[in-house]
Structure 1
C-alpha cells in the first residue's frame, strides 16, 4: 500500500502542469459530459450520520425518488459524504470497509435508475485546516482516497461514477488548496485510472476561485464551481454563514429600489441598510450573465469542461416567484454557455421536495424553472 500511495502522490505533482502540455490521459468521455448536464445534490444521504434531526425518511432518497428524478430529466446525482464518518477510525489512511460498502450499495442503487453518481468528500473546518497545513494529514487523506476510489471503482464502471475529491476547501490560501487538490486527485487517478475526477478552486469554490485555477495536465478532469450570486437573495433566512442572512426575508429577484421598498419596514432595523443596498444593486438576468460569461471565457480558453456543482436558493424565505425566476435565469444562462449543472438541493433549505418517502410533495414551479417535467400529481 505504501508504495502505491507514494506513486499516487508522485503522479499528483505532475497533474499541475498546464493543459496544453503533451499528456497520455484521455479526455472526459462524451457520455460523462452528457450526464453531467443536469443533476441534483442528494446532500443529506451520507452526511450528518448520527444527527437525530436528520430523519432518513425525509432526507434520504428511496427507489421511488430515484426513479422520479430520472423520469423528470435529471441525469446525475451528487452525493456528499462526511470524511469523519467514512474514514476508518483505527487507520486514517483508509476508508472504513463496511461504510464504504454501504456507500457502494447506494451508488449501485443510483446506477440501477440510469443516474450517474458524483461522490464528493466533505470535511469539517478543523480537518480542513490540518489538511491544508499538515503534510501527514494530507498523506493520510490521499491514502484514504486511494482506498475509497479503489473500492468504489470495483463496484461501478467509469461511465457511472465521478470522483470529486473535496467540497469547498474553505481556505484563502489558493496555493495550499491547489496542493491538496493535486494530491487527492493524484491518489484517485492512481487507484482508478479510467475514472473522471472533479476539482475545484480554493475557499468556497466560487467563480473567482475557479478562474484562479491553472488547468491540470490530466485531461480526464472536470472543473467545478458553486453559484449563489447574489448571496443576499439566495441565502436569505439562512442560519449558517453570515449572521445577517438570518434577518433577511422577502427579498425579490430581480432587485430594485422600488422592489425593496415594501420589504424594508418588515425587517429588523439592523438589516435594512443591507437590504436597501441589495435593491440598489439591481440584480437581474443581465448581471448574472456577466458573471457566467467569465466562466465561459475561462472554459473556452482552456478547452476544459466546467460543471456548476451547486446552485440554488433558500425556499422558505424567498418569494416563490422570485426563486423560480432566479433558478430559470441561472439555469438558462449556464446551459447557453455549455456549463453543466447540479441543483442544490433535493430536500432541506433549498430542496425541491417536502414530505417523507412515499409522500413527497414536489415544488412544481422550481422544477419547471429548471427546465424539467414536474410530476403531474405533485408527487
Structure 2
C-alpha cells in the first residue's frame, strides 16, 4: 500500500480517532499469550534509529548486525525494544505523514529482528521541545496521531500482529497527567484503527515510573500492555550520569545494597555537598526488600485491573558502579520481576548501561551482568 493511499485512509479515520481518544476503544481481544510470553525477557536496542546524524554515535558500536541479533536470541532474549526519533521519521514537509524511504529502512530492520526470533517493540522518542507542543497543542497532537496511523498501517502490512508491537510514546516527561493521558489515548487510538489486531503499549506521565503507572486509569482496550521504567534508587543506578540531575556526575562507587556502614569508607572521598547525599543513600538502606515493596505495588495494580504490565527499561550505569553491586541490583530486580510474572527489557544492549562493549564483529560481553539477568552468557 502506498503512502498516498495510506494517507487517504488516515483522513477518513480521523473522526474515529477522536472518538477513541474521548471515550476509549471498544473492548476487544486480550493480549495474546504468544506476545506475553515473548515479553518476558528482552533488550533495548537504543541508538539504532535514534540520534541519526550525530557524529558521536558510531554505527559499528551501537547498532546490531546479524551476528548480534543471533547472539541475543541464543543468550535467551525473546524481544527487542527499538526506539525511533520522531524527527528522523516524519516527513519534513508535512508532519501528518511519514518519510517513505525511512519507513522502508525501519521496516526492513524490524523484519530482520523478527527473523531471528525476537519480537520487535517499536517505540517513539521525541525531544523536549516537540513533547511540549505535543502535550499542549491539539493540532500537533492530531497531526502526530495521523503520523502514527500512517506508520502503523505501513508496518502492519509488513509484520503481522504476532511479530510486532507498537509503543506509542516513550516517557512523556510531563507532570501533567491529564495531558499525557490525552496524548496516549489519541496516539493509541490512531494505531488501533490502523492495526486492529496488533498489541499496543502505553505508559503513565512523567518518566513512566511505578508511581505514574499506578496512577493510570486503564483504557477500554484489552489488547494493551501497560509499561513502566524501574531505576530505583537513582543515586545508585545513575551514578556518574552526565544527564538529568547534575549531582549524579559527582557520585561514584556507591554500593548496593546500601547502609551507613557500607557508605562510610566512601564519604571522605566526596565533596561536602555530595557527601550529604551519599550519607542519605546509606541511611535509606536500599536492598532487595525495598525493591520488592515497590514492585508489589505494580503487581497489585495489575491484578486489580486485570491487565498486562511490562517493565520496558531497567539497568545500571556501569562506568562508576562497582561491578559486583551492579550485578547484585540486576539480579535482585530481575528475580523480583520474574517472581511477580512481570516481563522486562534490560536497558541497554550497548552504550552506558549496555551488556556489550566493542564494535560489530568484536563484541565483549559483560558475562556477570548477563548471568545476573538469568541468561546464558556467551563464550
Check the 8 A contact 2:255/2:263 in 1, yes or no.
yes
Check the 8 A contact 1:11/1:190 in 2, yes or no.
no
How far apart are residue 3 of structure 1 and its match? 1.9
The match for 1:100 is: 103
Q: Residues 69 and 174 of structure 1: is their aligned pair in 2 closer, same or farther, counting only changes over 3 Å?
A: same
The match for 2:5 is: none
Aligned match for 1:256, one of 259, 273, 290: 259
* Cα distance in 2 for residues equivalent to 1:334 and 1:324: 15
The match for 2:175 is: 172
Residues 146-161 of structure 1: pairs in structure 2 closer than 5 A: 146-161=149-164
For structure 2, the residue ranges without an aligned partner over 5 or more in a row are 1-7
For structure 1, the residue ranges without an aligned partner over 5 or more in a row are 17-22
How far apart are residue 24 of structure 1 and its match? 4.2
SS in 2 for 1:27: coil
Task: Please list every run of at least 4 consecutive aligned residues from structure 1 whose deviation after the TM superposition is greater than 6 angstroms.
Answer: none
* Cα distance in 2 for residues equivalent to 1:367 and 1:314: 15
* Cα distance in 1 for residues equivalent to 2:106 and 2:18: 25
Matched, 1:202 2:196: no
* Cα distance in 2 for residues equivalent to 1:112 and 1:136: 38
* Cα distance in 2 for residues equivalent to 1:79 and 1:9: 27
| TM-score, normalised via structure 1 length | 0.96
Check the 8 A contact 2:327/2:369 in 1, yes or no.
yes
Matched, 1:13 2:22: yes
Check the 8 A contact 1:88/1:94 in 2, yes or no.
yes
Check the 8 A contact 2:27/2:220 in 1, yes or no.
no
How far apart are residue 263 of structure 1 and its match? 1.1
The match for 2:238 is: 235
- Cα deviation, 1:168-224, whole Å, max 9, x if unaligned, reads 000000011000000000000000000000000001000000001111110000000
The match for 1:20 is: none
CA RMSD of aligned residues (A): 0.8
Q: How many residues align?
A: 370
The match for 2:56 is: 53
The match for 1:223 is: 226
Check the 8 A contact 1:9/1:142 in 2, yes or no.
no
Residues 354-373 of structure 1: pairs in structure 2 closer than 5 A: 354-373=357-376
SS in 1 for 2:69: helix
Matched, 1:283 2:286: yes
Residues 16-31 of structure 1: pairs in structure 2 closer than 5 A: 23-31=26-34
